Amino acid sequence: MGVKFTTITFIFFCAIAIYPSITTCAPDPCASQPDDSDLTVIPIYGKCSPFQSDPNSWLNTIIDMASKDPERIEYLSSLVVLKKRKPVNKAPIASGQAFNIGSYVVRVRLGTPGQLMFMVLDTSTDEAWVPCTGCVGCPSTTSFSPQASTTYGGPVACSAPRCAQVRGAFSCPAGRTTACYFNQSYAGTSFSATLIQDSLSLAVDTVPNYAFGCINAASGPIPSQGLLGLGRGPLSLLSQTASLYKGVFSYRLPSFKSYYFSGSLKLGPAGQPKRIRTTPLLRNPRRPSLYYVNLIGVTVGRVRVALPSQFLAFDPNTGSGTIIDSGTVITRFVEPVYNAIRDEFRRQVKGPFTSIGAFDTCFMKTYENLAPLIKFHFTGLDLTLPYENSLIHSSYGSMACLAMAAAPNNVNSALNVIANLQQQNLRILFDTVNNKVGIARELCN
């Protein structure tokens, strides 16, 4: 099979811009193109999304979303490979998994004929899962009906290799084979699901026999139309389409305020930017699903901040380091690193400062002209954040806040997270074959 690539648009169609040049774009309505070639990835509260929010409560929306970040950081920290144990006939429950931030959703069709689902896009999760018809405790809006699909391949057997790759999978009952059942939990909510197989359609591509979770019961709120995992594990989209997309994808996340337009998700090596700055993609055996990069420093304005190196260092023995994640809302540094960055930022802006929700460095917008640019230094790559990626404004524009925060102290290793607000309007390229991450500026206005 030849190398395949797919461009998945976010309502707005853009040509790639290699920094420092900027792409210009023309708006497009929410409807699919005539050939249905667009797989839509949009802000979850965009006007093309079925999950709309009050546009006048912009800061409150971000504060609410960012308030779930600590639970997500705990979830990311919990993604540790455990030693194999003798199977037992009981349902393991994973620790808290806060995917329910739902910053961006991707338009996917499951089964034949395709059933449209707006699934949360998550680079730190492997399995895909959706609420299925008859689910107890799931949102009542949209669910997947396996019985309505002519390509439904039935449940995966508990003895199948795919079942052993699911976190929280039940072991087979003694002496007999059943379906592959699993339990997972996140943000205080647990759910039970069956691993099933059916076709999954992304833009013009259809992936047959895709394995994903069919949720049967949930104890609380979950992403109402499911989640699509883009992690590095064996059941992720990247792994299940390895022969099709060759382990390469990129995305551009639009601004949260981009109600009618968004960026694009591109799958496969063809069509990716050719001239793009890259940094090594690291694999941490403690958390093999996550996308690690080597953050070596941070500059605020013209000042290279003195940071304790032990809190930046990549350590495969502990899982420490820095990851790029699509599901965390604001970038989180371990506390000593964040405090040093924040204190230098405050020194240059001068204040006075106040706190609003997760943001502890908010100031009157009249001081914004004093706000310094922030630059992340990765191995072989420097990323200067535009102001819209480092500051967030109140709904009426009177206050501005530094859009970063400290990671919770109760995680079991030093994990820094480059979050989606800091990735907006950037092309982020992941090449898992050549082990590199590329970053280029790409704007849609």
* Catalytic sites, residue numbers: 122, 325
- Strand partners of residue 132: 144
Of 358, 326, 329, 327, the closest CA to residue 342 belongs to: 358
Continuous segment of H or E residues that includes residue 278: strand 277-280
Q: What is the spatial distance between Cα 57 and Cα 70, in angstroms, rounded to a whole number? A: 22
Looking at 357-425, which runs of residues are DSSP E strands?
359-364, 374-378, 381-385, 391-393, 399-402, 404-406, 415-418
What residues have CB less than 8 Å from 405, skipping those under 6 apart?
66, 69, 330, 331, 332, 338, 358, 359, 360
What residues have CB less than 8 Å from 244, skipping those under 6 apart?
1, 4, 205, 207, 267, 268
Q: What is the spatial distance between Cα 154 and Cα 162, in angstroms, rounded to a whole number? A: 14
Identify whether the C-beta of residue 70 lies closer than 8 Å to the C-beta of residue 409.
no
What residues have CB less than 8 Å from 369, skipping those under 6 apart?
none
Sign of the dihedral defined by the CA atoms of residues 346, 349, 353, 359, in that order? negative
**CA 224 remoteness from chain centre:** 16
φ, ψ for residue 45, nearest 5 deg: -105, 15
User: Residue 208 corresponds to which tokens in the numbers above?
Assistant: 């047959």
Q: What is the spatial distance between Cα 315 and Cα 306, in angstroms, rounded to a whole number? A: 20
Burial 328-344 (b: 16+ CB within 10 A, else e): bbbbbbbeebbebbbeb
Q: What is the spatial distance between Cα 445 and Cα 254, in angstroms, rounded to a whole number? A: 10
Q: What is the spatial distance between Cα 262 and Cα 264, in angstroms, rounded to a whole number? A: 7
CA dihedral 418, 423, 428, 431 (to 10 degrees): 20
Q: What is the spatial distance between Cα 158 and Cα 149, in angstroms, rounded to a whole number? A: 22
What residue type is 107 in one-letter code? Answer: R
